[in-house]
Amino acid sequence: MIRLICFLLLLISPAGFAQSTRPTIDDALNSIRTAFDAAAGDASAARQELAAANARVDALAAEVDRLRPRMGVGANLFNKKWGRETRDFWPAGINWATVENPWRADFLADMSIYSSIRFMDLDRTNASDIRTWSQRVQMREDQYAPQRMAYEWMIDLCNRLNVDAWICMPHLTIEDYEANPASNYWVQCAKLFRERLKPNLKVYVEYSNEVWNWGFGQSKYASERGVKMGMGNPDESRFTFNVYAFARMAEVWEREFAGQRGRLVTVLGGQLVDQWRLERLVVTSLKSERINPKRIKPDAYAIATYVGNLSNMNGAAPDVRDLWMAELDKVVGHLKKTREVIRKGFENPETPIIAYEGGSHVTTNARAMRENPAMYEMYTAWLERTAPYVPLTLVYCHNGGWDWGAKERTEQPVEAAHGYRAMRDWVGKSER
């Protein structure tokens, strides 16, 4: 095209052509101008079509994002007696007899990314010796002491952060219920949370913690009680007695939250990798006239979505990232199987699975794992891959040592807390 234009310009020069050829040249130039105008019009139309296509792509992306599973992210908090945890929560020198707000401002800022807090460790649930309401820690007692945190301060923290509370009833409190069905630990605790937790917030209530786990005293207790009550052999009774206790606890809490049922989530705890016992023991017990005579249905079934513990992973291994991602595939597979069992066996087939704990669980060279920048990518993948199956997951835990703490301490820079940073960014993306 350029050569043609130059040639025509040469032709129309006074020295190049006779006057008689001018009309022919003018016609050629007019044709060229028409062709340029048409090309320009085509380009404008193409630009408009491209803009329309981009708008359609943006609309489709927005719809995909709208339909993407929205998973709430919460956190457990470390047991107070395991190190420096009280310093993460509170400054020194608090007068607990009079204080109104004991919390560190930077701790509250860190916790603001979460939608719920599970207080299992701060209530020292595992192997608890608490039976009656009079044994609980009082609000005005010294909270620095290596003991449980008062329920009032748990509620205060949730109210300040505007997040839901998740509490675990000590396993021995079933005895207080059995002795006093109308007035017992569960009744008093339910009343406290109903009256003091902000009305827009929920309370999740669970019977003990990991009753299936032989490593904890509550599992041995459930096994022994279940055997005495004829609920099965020692192995089976861990699961059947757990349903027995859950059903009675849930009935009490449902009664106390009458008229405010939407604020209460009754949680039946379970094990991610054991669909066999879920189907043959838990489902059967929920339908048993003896174990669950009121046919109490759990609002949620809770498991842990840990990655790293299934294969005893080494946090310093050069291929730890790939090993971790491969194990995440297994976790997702177990979530799918658990969902299938619930849909086939639970009276409410849409009972949600929620994760009472989760995240990385590497105990060999745990610090190397925690400090690995790839943890950001791994935690992001963990959130994205589990979100379609779990509407709520609570990391274990926000603060603490080993591989578990999202932040090792409150003062740790966010740039160095790779797991915490991934959750913060994921929560921010989900809220947009």
Domain segments of the chain: what residues?
A: 2-63, 72-431
| Cα-Cα end-to-end distance for the chain | 51
Helix (H, G, I), strand (E, B) or coil at 118: strand
Instruction: Supply the pLDDT for residue 71.
Output: 94
- Interhelix angle 185-196/151-161, rounded to 10 degrees, is 30
How far apart, in whole angstroms, are the C-alpha atoms of residue 144 and residue 80? Answer: 8
Q: What is the CATH number of domain 72-431?
A: 3.20.20.80
Q: Look-up: residue for tokens 């990314």?
A: 113
How far apart, in whole angstroms, are the C-alpha atoms of residue 203 and residue 221? Answer: 26
Amino acid at 119: F
pLDDT-derived band of residue 26, with 50, 70 and 90 as boundaries? low
pLDDT-derived band of residue 180, with 50, 70 and 90 as boundaries? very high
> Prior bond to 397 cis, omega within 30?
yes
Closest CA to 174 of 182, 164, 184, 183: 184
Instruction: Supply the pLDDT for residue 70.
Output: 79
Residue 251's contacts (CB-CB under 8 Å, 6 or more residues apart) are 294, 296
Mean pLDDT of all residues in the chain? 89
Whether 8 shows a pLDDT value over 50: the answer reads no
Instruction: Supply the pLDDT for residue 236.
Output: 97
Q: What is the pTM (predicted TM-score) of this model?
A: 0.84
* Residue of 10 and 129 predicted with greater confidence: 129
**Other C-beta atoms lying within 10 Å of the C-beta of residue 51:** 10
